[in-house]
């Protein structure tokens, strides 16, 4: 989840003392990169996915599933046997926030040919197999977005008590510091977010009110003042970074051919984030309760919200200690489009560091990119390592990355690292991780294909960014995929707006018109509706028909698109819906929104069986999840 430096982390006070230094040099580092590679073009499409995993242990006798705190050792072995032994090893492994987490990516990025789409799933399977082979007995590598009993007593193996005392990193009533990855970056982030904010983080997720759920649902925390004040009735209260960053997701990064193509893709995909989030919804349970949301996004957002009360606008009167009122957490949706065609849709108030903005303009950077960077740089560095204070700004970028990589937004615009042959990249970050490699491949292939289609057909999805934000809120609600209405652009093929010349300049009108967009269901957006909207899947299908693709790859792609199509129409369930039904039908469930250890155990056991193809799950995957051999015709007429 970001830059990993080795060394000794500074205390919060010292880190804060160096905040201006980090920002100053971070900007100089960005300028070096920008001037060196701004005209770089003709980079080819390359892309890669990142899958985050949890390590789960099953106690079959006591019917209990726990998170195993062995991520660091597992990572060490995987890297030793993998990338350190063989630079061409097919998988790469990285640490993640939880000591029970690990992240896997393909060893080499995928290239631009269609046949690469047919290797994604195999590579994900390799990853699962490779890591699983190193686990202990009755342990499994699970791709679940949120662990249902995260933060409940005894949820880790070995078990630890939370450390709500002074000196702890989280000071959580529920989440022990031992569940945080041992690399000092992670506990330091945790501690410093809390210090900067001036209190523990506060996460309140609405509880799902079932027949026997107490109403109002109230938990009391008499032993903890902060918790007593912060917890809300009818909500599941959580108080640690681990409740958010301890969740898993699926990300995709693309290399664009040039900076202007990267900016165009960044904007277009930003509008797709809420749609794919709702389609991938997979996290309905928190701290042992059934919640009323289906996605992790808002939980992580609150879990790393380091803004002070003043910055959050909770103190009346003029600012005393801070520079800005800031409307969003560091983990949130993007606040501005980057391409010129996006400019007229930038309708969100953008807080920016004015000096940095002016400096960037003076250096020849255009308004849109300058305000983007100046907006990221309103944040303080959260960690700093003693050995990494004084850097060579022309050849290093740690200070830039320090701020950049702790702005966890729906999309990330990534300048090339200094002196590398990597181009301008864009990262798509909202997707919830799915149970199986098949589903994860499907979401990844869908998003990557969409970028191909956006570029080939010069599509334009842009709507006012404030409407995308409204979509983000809707997307996280329970069953948003079927019940939510989302603002979406009606005419995406006009081209006029999206026509981009070499420098990202556009032609077209300057004012967005209200009738450019309408409220649509996910089904309409994905599958289309006669006379209303053509649908993304039909557009992808027609693109595919015009492409030379070998039969096997075509078959795989069509299977992936079928999954997306059916999830959008409701013919198949999202993971979140399926998990809700599983719990609702569990013999122990008392319709009181409580997930017991035994329910947690049987749910995860089932998830693991599905992931390892030991049982089928047609409600979730349809009948076609095992690779159906291609039958010969170019398009699949069965659906």
Q: What are the beta bridge partners of residue 493?
A: none
**Contact between residue 115 and residue 553 where contact means Cβ atoms under 8 Å apart:** yes
The CA distance from 60 to 601, in Å, is 9
Rounded least distance, CB 248 to Mg ion, Å: 8
55 binds, among ligand GLU, Mg ion, none (CB under 5 to 8 A by kind): none
Q: Is the dihedral of CA 536, 538, 541, 543 positive or negative?
A: negative
Residue ranges in 270-329 that form contacts with Mg ion under rule CB under 5 A: none
Collapse the DSSP code of 285 into the 3-class scheme (helix H, G, I; strand E, B; otherwise coil) and give the result: strand
CB 477 within 8 A of CB 294: yes
When CB distances are held under 5 to 8 angstroms depending on the partner's kind, the choice from Mg ion, ligand GLU, none that residue 3 binds is: none
249/275 with CB nearer ligand GLU:
249
- Judged by CB under 5 A, the stretch of 100-108, 163-171, 216-224, 545-553 that binds Mg ion is 100-108
H/E run at residue 428: strand 425-428
- The least CB distance from residue 52 to Mg ion, in Å, is 5
**Beta bridge mates, 428:** 252, 411
Q: Answer yes or no whether residue 1 interacts with Mg ion by CB under 5 A.
A: yes
Considering the complex, state which of residue 277 and residue 549 has its C-beta at the smaller distance from ligand GLU.
Answer: 277
Residue choice 32, 43, 54, 103 for contact with Mg ion (CB under 5 A):
103
Structure tokens at 514: 């209200």
Instruction: Give 1 or 599: the residue with its C-beta nearer to Mg ion.
Output: 1
Q: Closest approach of Cβ 302 to ligand GLU, in Å?
A: 13
Query: In 198-290, which ranges are continuous DSSP H helix?
Result: 225-230, 242-245, 259-279
- What's the closest the beta carbon of residue 405 comes to ligand GLU, in angstroms? 8
**Which residues have a Cβ under 8 Å from the Cβ of 331 and sit 6 or more positions away?**
244, 300, 301, 303, 304, 305, 408, 409
User: 144 or 207: whose CB is closer to ligand GLU?
Assistant: 144
User: Whose CB is nearest to Mg ion?
Assistant: 1
Asked if the peptide bond before residue 158 counts as cis, ω within 30 degrees of 0, the response is yes
Q: CA quadruple 19, 23, 24, 28: dihedral positive or negative?
A: positive
Least distance in Å: CB of 251 to ligand GLU?
6
- By beta-carbon proximity to Mg ion, the closer residue of 82 and 98 is 98
Q: Which two tokens stand for residue 64?
A: 């209990």
Task: Pick the stretch among 101-109, 136-144, 324-332, 393-401 that binds Mg ion (CB under 5 A).
Answer: 101-109
Of 124 and 249, which CB lies nearer to ligand GLU in the complex structure? 249
Residues near ligand GLU (CB under 6 A) are 1, 52, 245, 247-249, 296, 300, 408
User: Cβ closer to ligand GLU: 139 or 404?
Assistant: 404
| Cα 19 from chain centroid (whole Å) | 26
d(C-alpha 548, C-alpha 583), whole Å: 45
Q: Assess contact for 513 and 464: CB atoms under 8 A.
A: no
- CB-based contacts of 256: which residues, under 8 Å, 6+ apart? 43, 45, 262, 264, 265, 423, 424, 425, 426
Residues in CB range of 89: below 8 A, 6 or more apart:
82, 83, 107
Per CB under 5 A, 101 contacts Mg ion: no
CB of 438 to ligand GLU, least distance (A): 20
Min separation Cβ 245 and ligand GLU, Å: 6
Cβ of residue 249: shortest distance to ligand GLU, in angstroms? 3
Number of residues interacting with Mg ion: please give it, by CB under 5 A.
Answer: 2
Nearer to Mg ion by C-beta: 4 or 551? 4
Q: Cis link prior to 216 (omega < 30° from 0)?
A: yes
Site string for Mg ion, 493-532 (x = CB under 5 A): ----------------------------------------
Residue whose CB is less far from Mg ion, 261 or 437: 437
Q: Nearest to residue 56, comparing CAs of 615, 604, 610?
A: 604
Q: How far is the CB of 293 from ligand GLU (least distance, A)?
A: 14
Q: How far is the CB of 326 from ligand GLU (least distance, A)?
A: 20
**Residue ranges in 177-236 that form contacts with Mg ion under rule CB under 5 A:** none
Start-to-end CA distance of the chain, whole Å, equals 39
- Pick the closer one to ligand GLU by CB: 58 or 147: 147
Q: Which residues bind Mg ion (CB under 5 A)?
A: 1, 103
């Amino acid at each position: 989840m970001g830059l990993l430096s080795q060394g000794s982390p500074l205390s919060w006070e010292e880190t804060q003392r160096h905040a201006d230094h980090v920002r100053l040099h971070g900007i100089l580092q960005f300028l070096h990169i920008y001037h060196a590679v701004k005209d770089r073009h003709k980079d080819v499409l390359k892309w890669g996915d990142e899958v985050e995993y949890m390590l789960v242990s099953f106690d079959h006798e006591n019917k209990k599933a726990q998170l195993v705190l062995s991520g660091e050792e597992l990572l060490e072995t995987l890297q030793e046997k993998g990338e350190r032994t063989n630079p061409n090893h097919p998988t790469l492994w990285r640490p993640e926030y939880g000591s029970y987490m690990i992240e896997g990516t393909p060893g080499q990025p995928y290239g631009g040919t269609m046949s690469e789409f047919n290797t994604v799933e195999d590579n994900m399977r390799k990853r699962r197999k490779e890591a699983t082979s190193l686990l202990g007995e009755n342990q499994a590598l699970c791709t679940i977005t949120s662990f249902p009993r995260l933060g409940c007593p005894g949820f880790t193996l070995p078990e630890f008590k939370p450390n709500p005392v002074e000196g702890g990193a989280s000071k959580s009533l529920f989440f022990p510091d031992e569940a945080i990855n041992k690399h000092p970056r992670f506990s330091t982030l945790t501690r410093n977010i809390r210090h900067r904010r001036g209190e523990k983080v506060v996460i309140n997720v609405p509880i799902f009110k079932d027949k026997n759920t107490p109403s109002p649902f109230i938990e009391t925390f008499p032993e903890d003042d902060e918790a007593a004040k912060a917890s809300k009735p009818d909500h599941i209260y959580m108080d640690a970074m681990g409740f958010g960053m301890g969740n898993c997701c699926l990300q995709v990064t693309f290399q664009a051919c040039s900076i202007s193509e990267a900016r165009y893709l960044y904007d277009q995909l930003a509008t797709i984030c809420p749609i794919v989030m709702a389609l991938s919804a997979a996290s309905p349970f928190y701290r042992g309760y059934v919640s009323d949301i289906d996605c992790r996004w808002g939980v992580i957002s609150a879990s790393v919200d380091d803004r002070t009360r003043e910055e959050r606008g909770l103190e009346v009167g003029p600012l005393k200690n801070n520079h800005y009122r800031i409307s969003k957490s560091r983990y949130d949706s993007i606040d501005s489009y980057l391409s010129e065609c996006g400019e007229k849709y930038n309708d969100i108030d953008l807080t920016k560091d004015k000096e940095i903005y002016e400096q960037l303009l003076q250096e020849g950077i255009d308004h849109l990119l300058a305000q983007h960077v100046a907006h990221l740089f309103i944040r303080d560095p959260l960690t700093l390592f003693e050995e990494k204070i004084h850097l060579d700004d022309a050849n290093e970028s740690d200070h830039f990355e320090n701020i950049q990589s702790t702005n966890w937004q729906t999309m990330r615009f990534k300048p090339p690292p200094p002196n590398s042959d990597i181009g301008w990249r864009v990262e798509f970050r909202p997707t919830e991780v799915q149970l199986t490699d098949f589903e994860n491949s499907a979401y990844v292939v869908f998003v990557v294909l969409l970028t191909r289609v956006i570029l080939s057909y010069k599509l334009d999805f842009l709507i006012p960014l404030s409407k995308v934000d409204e979509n983000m809120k809707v997307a996280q609600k329970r069953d948003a995929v079927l019940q939510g209405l989302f603002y979406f652009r009606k005419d995406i093929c006009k081209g006029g707006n999206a026509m981009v010349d070499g420098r990202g300049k556009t032609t077209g009108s300057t004012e967005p018109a209200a009738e450019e967009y309408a409220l649509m269901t996910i089904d309409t957006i994905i599958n289309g509706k006669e006379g209303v909207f053509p649908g993304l899947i039909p557009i992808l299908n027609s693109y595919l028909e015009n492409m030379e693709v070998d039969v096997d790859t075509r078959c795989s792609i069509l299977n992936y698109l079928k999954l997306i199509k059916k999830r959008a129409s409701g013919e198949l369930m999202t993971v979140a819906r399926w998990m809700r039904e599983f719990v609702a039908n569990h013999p122990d469930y008392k319709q009181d929104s409580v997930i017991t250890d035994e329910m947690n155990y049987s749910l995860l056991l089932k998830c693991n069986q599905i992931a390892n193809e030991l049982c089928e799950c047609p409600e979730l995957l349809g009948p076609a999840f095992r690779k159906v051999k291609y039958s010969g015709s170019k398009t699949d007429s069965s659906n």
